Amino acid sequence: MDLQRAGVRLQVVLGHLSRPSAPAIVANPVSGPASPASCHPQQFQYTLDNNVLSLEQRKFYEENGFLVIKNLVPDDDIQRFRAEFERICRKEVTPPGIIVMKDVAIAKQDCALNEKVVTKIQDFQEDQELFRYCTLPQILKYVECFTGPNIMAMHSMLINKPSDSGKKTSRHPLHQDLHYFPFRPSDRIVCAWTAMEHIDRNNGCLVVLPGTHKGTLKPHGYPNWEGGINKMYHGIQDYKQDSNRVHLVMEKGDTVFFHPLLIHGSGRNRTQGFRKAISCHYASSDCHYINVKGTSQENIQNEVKEVAERHYGIQGNIDFQDIWVFRSRLVKGERINL
């Protein structure tokens, strides 16, 4: 399957979205025997009854909007993902639909594509090796605690944060992932983000603002940074500068699960190496698409459509949700709305 066929596939998808919007979802509990996490007197909003999370873990996610699970992905898997990333950088494989990105500080340099140039690849749903991450049973068993049993993999990325050039372009501004997503409800969406090596403040770890998932989606746009900003790296336009921040120091294989309204970002990479992580956003297939025209998300909708038209060579009637239908894959259960 080449890019031309991928483009054709996207065009086919255009006819599948005329059905009416689905009603609000009814959360489905994770199947399995009762456990301390599902025997509780209080109401939970952001997690579903399950036999995976302890009551303490569940309460922590409810209060903070994120949860780190230590040593979840084995070294062997991470090494395989790293090797496949390097093959893509060397153009030994060219999975259809994949988007290869460079940091704005080096994007205009005339240098051959290699691991030191590529800072992110996304939409690797057609790459069998990398997409295996999105289907790992140990990942999905946690994802199901947030989405329920019908799980769609919506967006995949492997981030190769480069050593900062001195212009601070390796930073990612504070943002909410829901800004990029034209589907709801937000409480049935979750990201799994796995460290592929030791990550701390020196090489640009994730920084989160605990509890901000309880708020609303804020307007996003490009920050006015002197050194420039990477394409589609939108940031929140207004937030409290004195907000409590937590820097997530993680070891290889550690995985953080977080809510799409959680405000988060990452600092610059002050080391001479690269900082790698692999991630996937999941949603319940009971979720439904929304029209973002006239909302704060319209700016990112227009940018994503421009990238898709340029990448796939398709002009004309491409809708924001068409692109997401093309990206998404059912990884567990039944496909209902998405």
Q: Integer distance in angstroms from the first to the last C-alpha of the chain?
A: 23
pLDDT tops 80 at residue 41: no
* pTM, entire model: 0.83
Strands 220-221 and 235-236, by their bridges, are: antiparallel
pLDDT at 117: 79
Distance separating alpha carbons of residues 319 and 179, to the nearest angstrom: 16
- What residue spans define the domains of the chain? 48-332
38, 55 in Cβ contact below 8 A?
no
pLDDT tops 50 at residue 19: no
> Amino acid identity, residue 244?
N
User: What is the rounded average pLDDT of the residues 263-283?
Assistant: 93
Which two three-digit tokens encode residue 252?
Answer: 């290889």
Confidence label for 88 from pLDDT (cuts 50, 70 and 90): very high
Read off the pLDDT of residues 138-171 as tens digits, 9 standing for 90 and up: 999 999 999 999 999 999 999 998 887 666 666 7
As a CATH number, domain 48-332 is 2.60.120.620
More reliable by pLDDT, 309 or 215: 215
